[in-house]
Amino acid sequence: MPEYEKHLYMILFPINALVASQLDPAKFGEHYTTGSSKHFSGKVIFAEVDINFRSEKFKIDDYLALTVPHENGEPKKTKFIASYNVLEHVPLDSIKKLFLCTANGKVLPIEPAEYTAYNAPDLFRIYQEITPLDTLVLSSKDQREFGKFITQSVSKGAPKLMFTQIDFNIENFLTLNKNKEIFQIDLPGVNPYRFYDCVMELKENTGKITKTIGLGSLLREISYKFLKHGFWFATKDEFKFFPMPSIQELEDKYFYWWKFVR
């Protein structure tokens, strides 16, 4: 019987789950997006978790023991450990690498990096919460401050959150729709009048930090190319960043992935 290395993966989108597998990340992403009838279509985001991670919340050793090859020698593709409230119980330092899967199973690996960007003040940004929430939010705060705020908010947040930023020119939207009766917006599923009202409310009420644009996730509809900077994991005290590669790097090193998202 062949031996396969065991992995711990945390699926982050479209669900949040902890999974044991004998597939490497590329094969795992390919299986989940194209080889499994459980996930029929669409993108998938997952992370590799330190194989030594343990928590009283999860019976990891029990499920790893069951993650063995099939009788025909093929590796065990997935063994679900938990499918609820997973991210909250996984320390940020146990999240080793992030993977973005296209709908046809191509996988882009992303290493963590320090977030050193300077963020101009007084800019409005659109944040897409990914897990455990999936709210689309307009905020006057930069990524660091938004992460701190939303993970301490009892009414609108969660103790730990993964989110990304949508690359959208808000001022251009306001200019294009000025003095028009029928508004248009290049964001799928977003009501342009609702979006306009959100922007105006934050402009007029400087004490307000966030405004909910919508309750569903844009990740199901938009391309990865519309995500700005990368992905953040936040708690009130911690911050972990996974940067999107530059366009040049995507074209030179990851063209096998990039050509399917443009």
- 167 three-class SS: coil
Average pLDDT, the chain: 94
Residue 37 has pLDDT above 60, yes or no: yes
Strands (E), 92-226: 95-101, 107-110, 125-131, 136-139, 161-166, 210-214
Supply the DSSP symbol for 123: -
- 55 three-class SS: coil
pLDDT confidence bin for 2, thresholds 50/70/90? confident
**pLDDT tens per residue, range 90-117:** 999 999 999 999 999 999 999 999 998 8
Q: What is the mean pLDDT of residues 185-204?
A: 95
Domain ranges of the chain: 7-110, 125-244
* Class of residue 30 by CB neighbours under 10 A (exposed 0-12, middle 13-18, buried 19+): buried
The CA distance from 242 to 162, in Å, is 11
